[in-house]
Amino acid sequence: MLDIKADVETGSSLSQAFRKFPLQFDALYCNLVSAGEQAGILDTLLDRLATYKEKIIAIKSKIKSAMFYPISILVVAFVITAVIMIFVIPAFKEVFKSFGADLPAPTLIVMAISDFFVAYWWAIFSIIGGGFYAFFESWKRSE
């Protein structure tokens, strides 16, 4: 803000001062401010831009809160599935081996997936943890 103030005090237009901060003021914002300066309606335009930004922030907030529930359901479902694959299925596998019977293909597939989870649990949880980290970092940046 102090840089913008200094630029305006030295004779730059407000839109030129805003252009030096592209992360805070995008091209549309700067162009609208420039048009408002040229038309002499900068005060009205800034009020409209403020209202627009407030609406965008409110919409983003609603979207984030709406996404929280489905994401939490997916996380819980994955944790339950992982626990079943790592702890429960291997116990059943030992019981099935003791029977000595031929197992159907879907059961063999589930057991193979369980073996994969048991062998590579660290990689699976590392990838998921990295995904959560990336997700929450992008969530923070969007605010």
Concatenating the DSSP letter of every residue in 3-27 gives: HHHHHHHTT--HHHHHHT-TTTS-H
What is the distance in angstroms between the CA of the first residue and the CA of the last residue of the chain? 19
Q: How many domains does the chain have?
A: 1
For residue 17, tell me if it sits in a domain: no
Specify whether the CB–CB gap between 111 and 143 falls below 8 A.
Answer: no
Residue 25 DSSP code: S
Other C-beta atoms lying within 10 Å of the C-beta of residue 133: 10
pTM over 0.75: no
- Residue numbers of the domain that contains 67: 60-141
**Is residue 142 predicted with pLDDT exceeding 90?**
no
For residue 128, tell me if it sits in a domain: yes
For residue 51, tell me if it sits in a domain: no
For residue 64, tell me if it sits in a domain: yes
Q: Find tokens 């800034």 and name the residue.
A: 46
For residue 21, tell me if it sits in a domain: no
What does the pLDDT look like over 120-139, one tens digit per residue? 989 988 988 888 888 888 87
